[in-house]
Chains A and B, each alone.
Chain A
Amino acid sequence: MNKVKFDYFIKGEKNQYEVIIGLEVHAQVSSNSKLFSGSATKFGAEPNSQVSLIDSAFPGMLPVINKECINQAIRTGLGLNAKINNDSVFDRKNYFYADLPQGYQISQYKDPIVGEGKVFLDMPYGSKEIGIERLHLEQDAGKSIHDIDPTNTYVDLNRSGIALMEIVSKPDLRSPEEVNAYIKKIRTIMRYLGTCDGNMQEGSLRADVNVSVRKVGDKKFGTRCEIKNVNSIKFMQMAIEFEAKRQVELLDEGKKIDQETRLFDTKKNETRSMRSKEDAHDYRYFPDPDLLPLKIDQKLIDDLKKSLPELPDDKKERFIRDYGLTPYEANVLVSEKEISSYYEEVAKLSDKKLAATWMMGDLFAMLNDKGLSISKSPISSKNFADLIKSIKSGEISGRIAKEVFEIMVESGDNPKKIIESKGMKQQSDPKELEKMINEILTKNKDKVDQYKSGKEKLFGFFVGQVMKLSGGKANPQLTNEILKKLLKG
């Protein structure tokens, strides 16, 4: 597998460039209520139906930290192999906007709740470690709606105050493919942990992408541009490709890159300048005097650590070790928590290796075809295990198994019941088979003679006849053995 070499470089007119990418992922914390208020956090609720006096910043309202959000951030930090800080501080980030009721966002600036960590990506050219710089908690803003009315802007504060985790990577990513793998990896980790549902369509996961380029071999980073608020992996990849090319062109022309914030226009597939470094906001960060510094007991961290579920990297290792899967198979089967649970349920009841092959083959193809997630699979894990058992025991052949599988998809029935009622059981009784084969050989004496005189290709003809007569149910291996034996005699 490691034969493949990393090859994402941008070729300019004069030089070959390497792309340096860092990501700031904003992940919505899975919690019933907001970071500092008791309001609900359901997606898609009526505008302004999940807004408290605190979220709308009425005079005299005060924030009170939601402990569950703290726990979720700690769990995520642990999942990212990161240091959890016993002391952290909530700061105010001051700026004016219509959907920011307080006139400041409560965030963490100098002292985040989670420090350095790392995640591992499985790339075709091997495993790659990506450093995590930090994770901090912050409030989401509301939403300005400009398209309801031609002259007025409406504000929906349902999202105002919802807890976000900002996960900042080190500038360790080198290609759109690595960005894809990175986002998927942290999303998988958070889904395993139940700390973020990772739903990009609903805005639960968004990212700011920092892109710079440098000549291959250079040690110093180039000037970076930040592309704000990209909400799909595809768009991130497109934005990076465009931005890297734009920067390379500028450098090749001998021009300088301006450090700036850019927007990605998904329709035109290009990034555009939003504001330069000079125009950057002065956020006037300072510790929020309404909140005491956050102290986290080591005991809480230890307790949360003990209660963490098995994470994808560990599970993958176990699948390889205990179930004899290849790294590739293990990787696919741990990519989502639901897939890994389904697999484990099947593997517990049947042949582990065969189960993996069938899941990654027919089951995934079918789900993909129907656009279903594994939790919506028409075949239950128990029924799927029964199918694997029937194949393994030789009760049905692989070919028949495919027919049974189709019926299972349509009916949701147990394979044993299907095999029974449709008489699809494999003919594996040697005596019965011998009797059938003798019959065929007697009927086709001429062909037998031709075979014996050297026309060995006719072997396939006999197998075909056996299958035809048995309705495809003859055990192919046994058929072969008996045929060979009788044709010799």
Chain B
Amino acid sequence: MSEIIKKNLSEIIELIKKKEIKSEELAQLYIDEANKSKKLNSFITTCFDNTIKKAKEFDKKPNSASLLPGIPLAVKDLFCTNGFRTTAGSKMLENFVPNYESTVTENLWKEGAILLGKLNCDEYAMGSSNETSYFGNVINPIAKNTVPGGSSGGSASALAANLTPATIGTDTGGSIRQPASFTGTVGLKPTYGLCSRWGIVAFASSLDQAGPMTKSVKDCAIMLEAMAGFDKKDSTSIDKKKENYSKNLKPNIKGLKIGIPKEYRVENMPKEIDELWNKGKSILKDLGANLIDITLPHTKYALPTYYIVAPAEASSNLARYDGVKYGYRSSQGKDLIGMYENTRSEGFGDEVKRRILIGTYVLSSGYYDAYYLKAQKVRQLIKKDFDENFAKVDAILTPSTPSSAFKIGEKTNDPISMYLNDIFTVPVNLAGLPAISVPAGLDKKGYPLGLQLIGKTLDEQNILNIAYAFEKNCNFNNEIKKWWL
């Protein structure tokens, strides 16, 4: 039985549909595994009693026509869940229990999924290693003392350690794809506007996008299908028909044109990343794709642009955490301003404060034009680079990250080097495009590495297909020894 949790989501769905396992039994397997795996610190909150209750209800009236029949799922703690604590990894929301459900999680429950618990993440999704969480850092199951990446680090860790059959994260600058790459899992950031942002604790509104994290590309298609969809409560949501990504998943990529951008070969990039990229190219070529060298000349400006736009929006988005209405309130402070200052000094961690300061600075009068406005212009140029190339190619292949998982504490005192980890992922968010990270190999240490496929706007099906074909021919094997048990 315990082998079941190692299976992919699609296989488990089949078992449920064929009534070879009950939802309750399945839930219990994951609960047992989670209870044994507390060392990883992937969960902030569990709600196992409720999971069992819901699973029993499903078993009484199983609906196998739904996409995720009776499937227990843990989700990133950035999604508001009705009646269950939602912290965003922050002391500020340590005791915050929403009375509403995010649209994306609501969509999952409508498809039959059941909440297992809330997964650790960087505070307000600000971080690339899950070390900024108020609830402690998360361990990557691939090796002791390694980070799972971030900000969806708890999601990646729980998924790789088989504590959930699939999960969801959010990706503002790489927060799904980088942890997926670090843990040998699949992570997709959809086109901006494909998944509703309603009910997700906001980091940077023009960049935030929810997406699936799974053990296989097929699972990824199923999850995306379940969570995506137009939502009139989100003004930036795209009004379009739902797609059947899983049904339309085809590994045939013959004749597709794949762009290889020269700017993604960055200085000091480990040789193995380059080799891995070459491996990816040859696999796609062997499958009949045409590789085309392209240039995305503004790539080098993406990171500085991102670190102006995202903090600017964050500084405003996080203004609501002031101790007045909900969340943490300091007992210190002799007047309103004093209460604000103490609440926010005590309630936010260092990385969040750093970004609020940067964001406040770049929006200040006298600096706005030089920073924020200029960044917005560069953002348009970055988008234009992609638009022009997508007239020639169907998708773009790049490495997902410039390194594999690093050690806990290795980069905490050097924010710039931490930010550099997002160098391949942020351009995609700035351009609002879909991109998927698929596991492609292991480095010398045996740590997984991923490749990223970037698609045209709303062309998720295409990058899923390419990733699917790649996965079938890559023979990636994520060897995780359960050292923490």
In this assembly, does A412 line the interface, its C-beta being within 8 Å of a C-beta of chain B? no
Q: Is the CB of A60 within 8 A of B80?
A: yes
Q: Is the CB of B100 within 8 A of A53?
A: yes
Interface size class, chain A: 20 to 34
Residues of A within 8 Å of B206, CB to CB, are 289
In this assembly, does B364 line the interface, its C-beta being within 8 Å of a C-beta of chain A? yes
Q: Is the CB of A57 within 8 A of B201?
A: no
Alpha-carbon distance between A153 and B339 when the two chains are bound, in angstroms: 13
Q: Is the CB of A104 within 8 A of B312?
A: no
A96-B322, A101-B320, A104-B319 are contacts. A59–B313 as well, Cβ < 8 Å? Answer: no
Q: Is the CB of A96 within 8 A of B236?
A: no
Interface size class, chain B: 35 or more
Set A59, A62, A104, A153: member contacting B88, Cβ < 8 A = A59
Q: Is the CB of B316 within 8 A of A92?
A: yes
Task: Tell me the residues in window 194-228 of chain B with beta carbons closer than 8 Å to chain A beta carbons.
Answer: 197-202, 204-206
Residues of B within 8 Å of A292, CB to CB, are 235-236
Q: Is the CB of A94 within 8 A of B316?
A: yes
Q: Is the CB of A289 within 8 A of B235?
A: no
Residues of A within 8 Å of B121, CB to CB, are none
In this assembly, does B363 line the interface, its C-beta being within 8 Å of a C-beta of chain A? yes
A289-B204, A290-B205 are contacts. A62–B98 as well, Cβ < 8 Å? Answer: no
Residues of B within 8 Å of A285, CB to CB, are 363, 368
Which residue of B has the minimal Cβ distance to A286? B363
In this assembly, does A378 line the interface, its C-beta being within 8 Å of a C-beta of chain B? no
- Shortest distance from the beta carbon of B129 to any chain A beta carbon, whole Å: 23
Alpha-carbon distance between A102 and B80 when the two chains are bound, in angstroms: 18
Task: Tell me the residues in window 228-265 of chain B with beta carbons closer than 8 Å to chain A beta carbons.
Answer: 232-236
Alpha-carbon distance between A153 and B206 when the two chains are bound, in angstroms: 35
Residues of B within 8 Å of A101, CB to CB, are 320, 324-325
Q: Is the CB of A59 within 8 A of B86?
A: yes
Set B234, B313, B319, B372: member contacting A96, Cβ < 8 A = B319
In this assembly, does A6 line the interface, its C-beta being within 8 Å of a C-beta of chain B? no
Set B201, B312, B324, B368: member contacting A59, Cβ < 8 A = B201
- Shortest distance from the beta carbon of A15 to any chain B beta carbon, whole Å: 36
Q: Is the CB of A290 within 8 A of B236?
A: yes
A62-B233, A65-B235, A284-B365 are contacts. A104–B316 as well, Cβ < 8 Å? Answer: yes
- Shortest distance from the beta carbon of B205 to any chain A beta carbon, whole Å: 4
In this assembly, does A314 line the interface, its C-beta being within 8 Å of a C-beta of chain B? no
Alpha-carbon distance between A286 and B312 when the two chains are bound, in angstroms: 9
- Shortest distance from the beta carbon of A34 to any chain B beta carbon, whole Å: 14
- Shortest distance from the beta carbon of B112 to any chain A beta carbon, whole Å: 23
Q: Is the CB of B316 within 8 A of A103?
A: yes
Q: Residue-by-residue, is A56-96 near B (CB-CB < 8 Å gives 1, otherwise 0)?
A: 11111111110000000000000000000000000010101
Set B236, B363, B372: member contacting A94, Cβ < 8 A = B363
Set B197, B204, B319: member contacting A102, Cβ < 8 A = B319
In this assembly, does A278 line the interface, its C-beta being within 8 Å of a C-beta of chain B? no
In this assembly, does B66 line the interface, its C-beta being within 8 Å of a C-beta of chain A? no
In this assembly, does B340 line the interface, its C-beta being within 8 Å of a C-beta of chain A? yes
Q: Is the CB of A284 within 8 A of B363?
A: yes
- Shortest distance from the beta carbon of B7 to any chain A beta carbon, whole Å: 33
A286-B316, A289-B205, A289-B313 are contacts. A56–B235 as well, Cβ < 8 Å? Answer: no
In this assembly, does A486 line the interface, its C-beta being within 8 Å of a C-beta of chain B? no
Alpha-carbon distance between A92 and B368 when the two chains are bound, in angstroms: 14
Residues of A within 8 Å of B52, CB to CB, are none
- Shortest distance from the beta carbon of A137 to any chain B beta carbon, whole Å: 15
Q: Residue-by-residue, is A261-299 near B (CB-CB < 8 Å gives 1, otherwise 0)?
A: 000000000000000000000101110011110000000
In this assembly, does B326 line the interface, its C-beta being within 8 Å of a C-beta of chain A? yes
In this assembly, does B93 line the interface, its C-beta being within 8 Å of a C-beta of chain A? yes
Set B199, B233, B236, B320: member contacting A103, Cβ < 8 A = B320
Residues of A within 8 Å of B360, CB to CB, are 284
- Shortest distance from the beta carbon of A99 to any chain B beta carbon, whole Å: 9
In this assembly, does B48 line the interface, its C-beta being within 8 Å of a C-beta of chain A? no
Set A57, A64, A92: member contacting B233, Cβ < 8 A = A64
Residues of B within 8 Å of A104, CB to CB, are 316, 319
In this assembly, does A123 line the interface, its C-beta being within 8 Å of a C-beta of chain B? no
Task: Tell me the residues in window 320-348 of chain B with beta carbons closer than 8 Å to chain A beta carbons.
Answer: 320, 322, 324-326, 336-337, 340
Which residue of B has the minimal Cβ distance to A291? B235
Q: Residue-by-residue, is A170-200 near B (CB-CB < 8 Å gives 1, otherwise 0)?
A: 0000000000000000000000000000000
In this assembly, does B96 line the interface, its C-beta being within 8 Å of a C-beta of chain A? yes
Residues of A within 8 Å of B88, CB to CB, are 59
Which residue of A has the minimal Cβ distance to B313? A289
- Shortest distance from the beta carbon of A54 to any chain B beta carbon, whole Å: 9
Which residue of B has the minimal Cβ distance to A92? B316
In this assembly, does A155 line the interface, its C-beta being within 8 Å of a C-beta of chain B? yes
Q: Residue-by-residue, is B284-298 near A (CB-CB < 8 Å gives 1, otherwise 0)?
A: 000000000000000
Q: Is the CB of A284 within 8 A of B202?
A: no
Residues of A within 8 Å of B234, CB to CB, are 62, 64
Q: Is the CB of A98 within 8 A of B336?
A: yes
A96-B319, A103-B319, A289-B205 are contacts. A63–B364 as well, Cβ < 8 Å? Answer: no
Alpha-carbon distance between A61 and B365 when the two chains are bound, in angstroms: 28
In this assembly, does B102 line the interface, its C-beta being within 8 Å of a C-beta of chain A? yes
Residues of B within 8 Å of A94, CB to CB, are 315-316, 319, 363
Q: Is the CB of A60 within 8 A of B102?
A: yes
Set B198, B235, B236: member contacting A60, Cβ < 8 A = B198
Which residue of A has the minimal Cβ distance to B206? A289
Set B102, B235, B372: member contacting A290, Cβ < 8 A = B235
Q: Is the CB of A60 within 8 A of B205?
A: no
Q: Is the CB of B325 within 8 A of A56?
A: yes
- Shortest distance from the beta carbon of A334 to any chain B beta carbon, whole Å: 40
Alpha-carbon distance between A63 and B205 when the two chains are bound, in angstroms: 12
A94-B316, A102-B319, A282-B364 are contacts. A62–B198 as well, Cβ < 8 Å? Answer: yes
Set B198, B204, B316: member contacting A284, Cβ < 8 A = B316
Residues of B within 8 Å of A289, CB to CB, are 204-206, 236, 313
Q: Residue-by-residue, is A27-64 near B (CB-CB < 8 Å gives 1, otherwise 0)?
A: 00000000000000000000000000100111111111
Q: Is the CB of B316 within 8 A of A59?
A: no
Q: Is the CB of A58 within 8 A of B100?
A: yes
Q: Is the CB of A59 within 8 A of B202?
A: yes
Q: Is the CB of B316 within 8 A of A155?
A: no
- Shortest distance from the beta carbon of B415 to any chain A beta carbon, whole Å: 23
Alpha-carbon distance between A65 and B80 when the two chains are bound, in angstroms: 23
Q: Is the CB of A60 within 8 A of B368?
A: no
Q: Is the CB of B235 within 8 A of A57?
A: no
Q: Is the CB of A286 within 8 A of B368?
A: yes
Residues of A within 8 Å of B235, CB to CB, are 62-65, 290-292
List, sorted by A's number, 11 A–B pairs whose CB atoms are closer than 8 Å.
A57-B325, A58-B326, A59-B96, A60-B80, A60-B201, A64-B233, A98-B322, A102-B319, A103-B320, A285-B363, A290-B205
New A-B pairs, 14, CB < 8 Å, besides A60-B200, A284-B316:
A56-B325, A59-B93, A60-B102, A60-B199, A62-B198, A64-B234, A96-B322, A98-B322, A282-B365, A284-B364, A285-B363, A286-B316, A286-B363, A292-B235
The 10 closest A-B pairs by CB, nearest first: A103-B319, A289-B205, A289-B206, A284-B363, A60-B199, A57-B320, A59-B201, A282-B365, A60-B80, A60-B200
